[in-house]
């Protein structure tokens, strides 16, 4: 019974390709016979694309053997396992065996975006009102005069829909391009006899792909050679246990991850013929979730919408009440005409339009516009944003935990049996070294000393134990030409030195390692480290007999050398760190290097200060939670750390200290910390695909300065949305109040439905586009980060909103009730002229307030304004179309042409808001220093300002 249960358990591999494997293995007679097509035969290949693809997909070991194994398959697809695919054959292979691309969900067309924009309930109600208005108007006033009011509303709706749809469509195209860039993985292949890098999209059947730890398997294929290759197939099978890949189990599947080891594979199928491609057919790409800021602003929009609805209902009932009272006083309460119906319909249209104006659908649009704009700019600055929310979250980052190698330093290291790099000859005949920077530096040093790369082929690699972040070393076992074996070990200097009991003298003689000599070597290691050099030890051990299944020994090694590798600090890093400190962002270095090396680099970068703390990972992880709580605020450098130490540090900073934490990572083991952090930053050059997949932002140039640029743009996104919210709430308050107060007192609304719709477009779409695309300023990095629980609408914003609203309402209401006398308007069109003037002045108030909103605190709002062509274009377009509305579209807009004096007065009333803004900014509203310290969510003191600014 136990045997049967064990057998069942061993056969419970979840994915269906395992079932295919059993089927094909157990019933070879039922294997599908493929007939070679004429197209394949003419191309010279000897195997059908579907047959080749089925081998890996079905784990068909019998089919692989019947085709002569990996070597036989290589022959049938006309590729040399040494030389790889010829570049000249790539297009032919793509035409026969397919492209390495998946079928994507079709993009929405422009007409779909128009249709979605038309689904807005308030716009639908307005369209019904417009249709009824045209019908009643034509019946009462005849053609074409009777249709002008309704047609004006229709044209306004059409304009709003077109602008909204165009904006959304352009964003969708931009996000699609970014998504394609996100999936563009660079893989290493052998082609034309040379090892080179190609895009995953250019991979073809027959390519020889080099895989290493953390890589994503880019296509289906079969194993050629490698060591300790372990694959995580959980993305396909759901099984968490890694699969050991070797000659007995040679199949690799696209989309899986290399968890350990290294190897080479022959690509047998690409694109839609892979298992991953077939799976993608059944899935549609999910859209981005709403960002935290969008969720927060949706709540604000709902509240404002409800207030607008209340005002709309009150305005309608006030207008209707006055209308009915007037009819009753005139004795016409029982006499109703078409004109009465048109008046009531207009009242209803005004009420619905107030809702349209009040509902700030521009808030989510502004967030998306700002994020999309920032993502595009960051892409040009070597930062690929994978998740929208990372942009805004990075603006609130109060701590950055960064790696040292490659991020703060150049990762170009300068100082033989090896596995991490390879000496290759390029097409130009020059010898170059491909591989990890550390391995490359060691090989280059060996070549510089006169070593021959041909020695590499004299010994056969028997076993490799790859570098492990826990052991801090890697080992390789080789067979010697003279017989026996030799184990080589390299890694962290103090770790490898601890494994050694002998060392090689200058004359090549191996002698015992005394305590004094061990101390002397330790002093050399510390001396190198204090000079900011990365230190490594290389050792060997001769072994007579060992099995492939045995572990490589961990003792009695002979020390060959101590190496100090110079990895220079990147240009600009010191300035970038200084910028972070000035912005209230703490920078902490977390590295696996020697503590003396880490401290030297940290001091050079400006990270480690006199009162800062540097600690080693083992010491950190042995601290109690109470001790951690005391040391973390002072912690600036953690050396010899494990990925778990980084994860613990991030968790403590987020949960105990309530900081917004950004973390950099490049290795597979960094994935948990990247996932735990508020913002995960993966390195684009040194980073593995596993790290990139768990990150929010990929730093394409691995440069710390780029990380600071992401923070700058993140802050810009946040403050740009604040600017827009300040602008929109001011328009909302004024538009609602002026129509409501006017309706209560005079029984009519000075702003018609068409005019309100035009204001709505200025306020929502155009306002969002103008203010959400402002570039970041230097001042953004001279203020503290926004806390987790900080209010989005600040006291400064309320001061500006209330001040501007009071000014605009006061001026416009004075002209509403005393305008004819003040402007000396007479004649039959005096009322129409006054309403047009009020509409014109109202629009110019918003245009100038848009300029005011460029900076919520500084008086000079014109700084860099003329370098922002989007903002200038929108302001000029708004003014131009306003002139067209007033002077040329009178019939549709319900306006009359204005004299130049009234135009000038409208502009002066609007421009006076600049003076009001300057006066308002002189009123202090932010809390005093003492209360700020008490109320700041993170408990930090605000940064000092003025000449002594941090």
* DSSP state string for 645-672: HHHHHHHHHHHTS---EEEEE-SGGGHH
Q: What are phi and psi of 734, to 5 degrees?
A: -65, -45
Tokens read off for 568? 């220079």
Distance CA 906, CA 541 (A): 90
pLDDT per position as a tens digit, 777-833: 878 888 888 877 777 888 899 999 999 999 999 999 899 888 889 988 888 888 889
Task: Give the 3-state secondary structure of residue 825.
Answer: coil
Q: What is the average pLDDT across 183-195?
A: 86
Give the pLDDT of residue 683. Answer: 81
Give the pLDDT of residue 17. Answer: 37
Does 857 or 140 have the greater pLDDT score? 857
Q: 207, 232, 260, 403: which one is catalytic? A: 403
Q: What is the average pLDDT across 447-464?
A: 70
- The percent of residues above 90 in pLDDT, for the chain, comes to 15
Distance CA 36, CA 47 (A): 7
pLDDT per position as a tens digit, 640-696: 888 788 888 998 998 888 888 999 877 666 778 888 888 888 887 777 777 777 788
Q: What is the average pLDDT across 426-435?
A: 53
Give the pLDDT of residue 906. Answer: 94
Q: What is the 3-state secondary structure (H, E, C) of 137-153?
A: HHHHHCCCHHHHHHHHH
Q: Which residues pair with 222 in a beta bridge?
A: 251, 266
pLDDT per position as a tens digit, 286-314: 445 556 666 667 677 777 778 878 888 88
Q: How sure is the predictor about 105, in pLDDT bands with cuts at 50, 70 and 90? A: low
Give the pLDDT of residue 909. Answer: 95
When mean pLDDT is compared across 23-32, 254-263, 301-310, 320-329, the lowest value belongs to 23-32
Give the pLDDT of residue 415. Answer: 46
Q: What is the average pLDDT across 346-375?
A: 73
Tokens read off for 117? 């924009």
Q: What is the average pLDDT across 891-913?
A: 90
- pTM surpassing 0.95? no
Q: Are 540 and 472 in contact (CB under 8 A)?
A: no
Mean pLDDT across the chain, nearest whole number?
79
* DSSP state string for 379-442: HHTTEEESSHHHHHHHTT--EEEE-STTTTB-S--B----SSEEEEE-TTS-EEEEE-HHHHHH
Give the pLDDT of residue 137. Answer: 64
Q: Which residues pair with 492 in a beta bridge?
A: 536
Task: Please say if the pLDDT value at position 281 is more than 50.
Answer: yes
Tally of CB atoms within 10 A around 483: 7
| C-alpha distances in Å from residue 835, one per residue of 15, 316, 591, 625, 829 | 72, 19, 69, 69, 10
Question: Sheet holding 500-504: strands in order across?
Answer: 460-468, 473-479, 485-492, 533-543, 557-566, 500-504, 510-512
Q: Are 391 and 402 in contact (CB under 8 A)?
A: no
Give the pLDDT of residue 804. Answer: 94
Give the pLDDT of residue 678. Answer: 87
Give the pLDDT of residue 28. Answer: 40
Q: Which residues pair with 491 in a beta bridge?
A: 473, 537
Tokens read off for 418? 């090896």
Give the pLDDT of residue 664. Answer: 84
Task: Please say if the pLDDT value at position 381 is more than 90.
Answer: no
pLDDT per position as a tens digit, 10-57: 443 333 333 333 333 333 444 566 788 888 888 889 898 888 888 888
Which helix H or strand E contains 538, and what residues bound it?
strand 533-543
- C-alpha 385: how far from its chain's center? 2
pLDDT per position as a tens digit, 125-175: 667 767 766 766 676 566 766 676 677 667 777 877 887 788 778 767 776
Give the pLDDT of residue 541. Answer: 92
In 3D space, the residue among 641, 262, 643, 668 whose CA is nearest the CA of residue 466 turns out to be 262
Does 241 or 835 have the greater pLDDT score? 835
In 3D space, the residue among 157, 618, 531 whose CA is nearest the CA of residue 349 turns out to be 157
Q: Which residues pair with 561 in a beta bridge?
A: 538
Q: What is the average pLDDT across 366-387?
A: 80
In eight-state DSSP terms, residue 297 is H
| C-alpha distances in Å from residue 81, one per residue of 53, 120, 192, 540 | 19, 61, 11, 32
Give the pLDDT of residue 16. Answer: 35
Query: Residue 403 catalytic?
Result: yes
CB neighbours of 555 closer than 8 A, spacing ≥ 6? 499, 501
Task: Please say if the pLDDT value at position 265 is more than 90.
Answer: yes
Q: Which residues pair with 637 in a beta bridge?
A: 589, 614
Q: What is the average pLDDT across 618-632?
A: 89
Range list of H helices, 183-291: 234-237, 275-281
Tokens read off for 363? 């808030």
100-124 per-residue burial string, b: 16 or more CB within 10 A, e: under 16: bbbeeeeeeebeebbeebbebebbe
């Amino acid at each position: 019974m136990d045997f049967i249960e064990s057998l069942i358990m061993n056969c419970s591999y979840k994915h269906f390709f395992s079932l295919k494997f059993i089927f094909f293995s157990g019933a070879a007679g039922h294997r599908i016979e493929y007939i070679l097509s004429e197209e394949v035969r003419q191309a010279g290949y000897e195997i059908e694309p579907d047959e080749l693809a089925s081998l890996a997909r079905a784990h068909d070991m019998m089919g692989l053997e019947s085709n002569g194994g990996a070597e036989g398959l290589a022959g049938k697809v006309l590729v040399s396992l040494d030389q790889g695919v010829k570049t000249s054959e790539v297009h032919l292979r793509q035409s026969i065996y397919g492209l390495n691309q998946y079928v994507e969900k079709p993009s929405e067309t422009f007409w779909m975006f128009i249709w979605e924009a038309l689904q807005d309930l308030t716009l639908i109600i307005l369209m019904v009102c417009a249709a009824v208005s045209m019908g009643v108007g034509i019946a009462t006033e005849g053609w074409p005069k009777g249709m002008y009011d309704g047609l004006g509303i229709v044209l306004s709706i059409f304009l709003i829909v077109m602008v909204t749809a165009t904006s959304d469509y352009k964003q969708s195209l931009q996000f699609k391009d970014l998504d394609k860039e996100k999936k563009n993985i660079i893989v290493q292949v052998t082609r034309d006899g040379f090892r080179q890098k190609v895009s995953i999209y250019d991979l073809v059947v027959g390519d020889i792909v080099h895989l290493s730890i953390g890589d994503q398997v880019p296509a289906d294929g079969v194993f050629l050679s490698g060591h300790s290759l372990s694959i995580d197939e959980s993305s396909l099978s759901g099984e968490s246990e890694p699969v050991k890949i070797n000659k007995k189990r040679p199949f690799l599947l696209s989309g899986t991850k290399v968890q350990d080891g290294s190897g080479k594979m022959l690509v047998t199928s690409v694109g839609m013929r892979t298992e991953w491609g077939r799976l993608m057919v059944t899935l549609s790409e999910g859209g981005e979730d709403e960002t935290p800021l969008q969720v927060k602003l949706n709540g604000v929009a709902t509240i404002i919408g409800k207030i607008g609805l209340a005002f709309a209902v009150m305005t309608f009932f006030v207008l209707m009440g006055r209308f009915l009272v007037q009819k009753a006083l005139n004795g016409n309460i029982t006499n109703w005409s078409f004109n009465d119906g048109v008046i009531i319909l207009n009242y209803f249209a005004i009420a619905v339009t107030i809702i349209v104006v009040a509902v700030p659908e521009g808030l989510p649009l502004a967030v998306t516009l700002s994020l999309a704009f920032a993502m595009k700019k960051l892409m040009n600055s070597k930062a690929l944003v994978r998740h929208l929310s990372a942009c805004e979250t990075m603006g609130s980052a109060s701590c950055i935990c960064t790696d040292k190698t490659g991020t703060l330093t150049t990762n170009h290291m300068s100082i033989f049996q090896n596995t991490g790099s390879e000496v290759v000859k390029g097409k130009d005949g020059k010898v170059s070294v491909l591989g990890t920077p550390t391995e490359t530096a060691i090989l280059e040093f060996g070549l510089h000393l006169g070593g021959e790369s041909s020695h590499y082929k004299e010994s056969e690699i028997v076993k490799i134990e790859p570098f492990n972040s826990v052991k801090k070393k890697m080992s390789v076992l080789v067979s010697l030409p003279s017989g026996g074996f030799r184990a080589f070990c390299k890694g962290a200097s103090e770790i490898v030195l601890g494994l050694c009991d002998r060392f090689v003298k200058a004359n090549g003689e191996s002698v015992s390692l005394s305590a004094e000599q061990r101390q002397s070597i330790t002093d050399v290691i510390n001396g190198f480290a204090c000079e900011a050099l990365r230190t490594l030890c290389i050792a060997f051990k001769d072994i007579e007999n060992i099995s492939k299944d045995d572990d490589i020994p961990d003792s009695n090694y002979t020390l060959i050398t101590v190496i100090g590798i110079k990895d220079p600090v990147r240009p600009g890093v010191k300035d970038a760190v200084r910028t972070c400190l000035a912005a209230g962002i703490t920078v902490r270095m977390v590295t696996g290097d020697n503590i003396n090396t880490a401290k030297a680099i940290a001091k050079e970068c400006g990270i480690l200060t006199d009162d800062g703390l540097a600690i080693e990972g083992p010491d950190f992880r042995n601290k109690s939670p109470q001790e951690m709580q005391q040391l973390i605020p002072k912690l600036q450098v953690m050396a010899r750390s494990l990925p778990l130490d980084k994860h613990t540090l991030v968790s403590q900073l987020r949960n105990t200290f309530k900081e917004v934490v950004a973390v950099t990572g490049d290795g597979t083991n960094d994935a948990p910390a990247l996932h735990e952090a508020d913002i995960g930053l993966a390195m684009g050059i040194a980073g593995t695909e596993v790290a990139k997949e768990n990150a929010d932002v990929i730093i394409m140039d691995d440069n710390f300065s780029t990380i600071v640029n992401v923070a700058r743009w993140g802050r810009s996104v946040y403050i740009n949305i604040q600017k827009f919210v300040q602008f929109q709430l001011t328009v909302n308050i004024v538009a609602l109040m002026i129509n409501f107060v006017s309706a209560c007192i005079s029984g009519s609304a000075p702003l018609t439905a068409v005019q309100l719709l035009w204001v709505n477009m200025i306020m929502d779409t155009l306002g969002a586009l103008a203010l959400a695309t402002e570039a970041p300023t230097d001042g953004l990095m001279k203020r503290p980060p926004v806390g987790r629980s900080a209010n989005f609408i600040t006291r400064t914003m309320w001061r500006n909103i209330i001040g501007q609203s009071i000014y605009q309402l006061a001026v416009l209401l004075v002209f509403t009730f005393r305008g004819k006398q003040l402007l000396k308007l007479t004649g039959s069109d005096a009322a129409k002229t006054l309403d047009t003037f009020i509409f014109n002045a109202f629009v110019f108030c918003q245009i100038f307030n848009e300029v005011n909103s460029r900076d919520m605190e500084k008086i000079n709002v014109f700084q860099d304004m003329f370098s922002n062509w989007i903002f200038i274009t929108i302001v000029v377009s708004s003014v131009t179309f306003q002139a067209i509305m007033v002077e040329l579209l009178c019939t549709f807009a319900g306006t009359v042409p204005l004299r130049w004096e009234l135009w000038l007065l409208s502009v002066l009333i609007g421009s006076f808001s600049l003076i009001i803004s300057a006066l308002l900014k002189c009123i202090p509203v932010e809390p005093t220093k003492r209360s700020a310290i008490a109320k700041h969510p993170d408990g930090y003191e605000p940064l000092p300002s003025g000449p002594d600014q941090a």
